[in-house]
Amino acid sequence: MWTVLANQQVMQSTDPLTWSKTALTLYQSGNNYATSSIADYDRNGTGDLFITRDDYGTGYINGFTNNGDGTFSSAIQVTVGTLTWYGSIVAFDKEGDGYLDFWIGDAGGPDSNTFLWNNAGTLVGNSTTSNSGGSATVGGAVTGYLSLNEGSGVDLNNDGRIDLVQHTYNLNNYYTLSSLINQGNGTLVWGQNTTNTFLSGADSGAMSSSVSMTWADFDGDGDMDLFLPAS
């Protein structure tokens, strides 16, 4: 009836009162999950699981392929080119090729921004550090920037493409909320930047200062609005 992924295990029910659970094991012992995202990266009709971790010294992302029978295999380990931990992981089709790519957040920043490109089911890490808190001009091409913990995917302009909204170091501010508008061809352009929005700043490895990002059309105008539990 139901499949639930929580506490590093898969729980399944055959009826409302009967559940079974299977632990998910990482490549390396002694590490734990931090955040996760479910996405059918290989387009076989089943949602696979991608996670960030609580250790900072590895520089890769783990994934579990969905076997289609309620079980997952620990078969994916992708080097992303920089050290990340605890950050969000967002699935979206950046290149417009029908395959889901990923953006990876980092609680240890701001020192980089990290993506996983999905080339027809082959994942390739990409990390850049070419911007250190620059202006991020609205409408300008996104080349390099510094990101932090939080991020989410949402269609901001109702064009059918998923855009990114995330915690960045834009405008030389550790707490900036930035939108990156997806052009559907592998490029992003800068949307709005709002400083002093998030709670966690530089080197906030502990997730106690991170906040969730909840999207809904709160005023019924057809556009997605954002709620942040922060003040």
- Predicted confidence at residue 13, as pLDDT, reads 87
Structural domains present in the chain? 2-227 (2.130.10.130)
- Each residue's pLDDT, cut to its tens digit, for the chain (231 residues) gives 788 877 788 888 888 889 988 888 776 655 677 788 889 999 999 999 888 877 666 667 888 888 888 788 876 778 776 666 777 889 999 989 999 999 988 777 777 788 888 999 888 887 776 555 566 889 998 887 888 889 999 999 999 999 999 999 898 888 899 999 999 988 999 999 999 998 876 665 556 678 889 999 999 999 999 999 875
Which tokens sit at 17?
Answer: 């009162």
Q: What are the backbone dihedrals phi and psi of residue 196, each rounded to the nearest 5 degrees, phi first?
A: 55, 45
Residue 60, pLDDT score: 73
What is the three-state SS of the chain? Answer: CEEEEECCEEEEEEECCEEEEEECCCCCCCCCEEEEEEECCCCCCCCEEEEEECCCCCCEEEEEEECCCCCEEEEEEEECCCCCCEEEEEEECCCCCCCCEEEEEECCCCCCEEEEEEECCEEEEEEECCCCCCCCCCCCECCCCCEEEEEEEECCCCCCCCEEEEEECHHHCCCEEEEEEECCCCCEEEEEEECCCCCCCCCCCCHHHCCCCEEECCCCCCCCEEECCCC
Q: What pTM, to 2 d.p., does this model score?
A: 0.85
What pLDDT, on the 0 to 100 scale, is given for residue 183? 94
pLDDT of residue 27: 64
- The CA–CA distances, whole Å, from 59 to 86, 107, 130, 169, 215 equal 12, 13, 18, 21, 30
What is the model's pLDDT at position 24?
A: 81
The Cα 201–Cα 155 span in angstroms is 26
Q: For position 216, what pLDDT does the model report?
A: 97
Residues paired with 77 in a beta bridge: 62
Burial of residue 59, with CB atoms counted within 10 A of its CB: 0-12 exposed, 13-18 middle, 19 or more buried = middle
Residue 53 CA to chain centroid, in angstroms?
12
Residue 71 has what pLDDT? 80
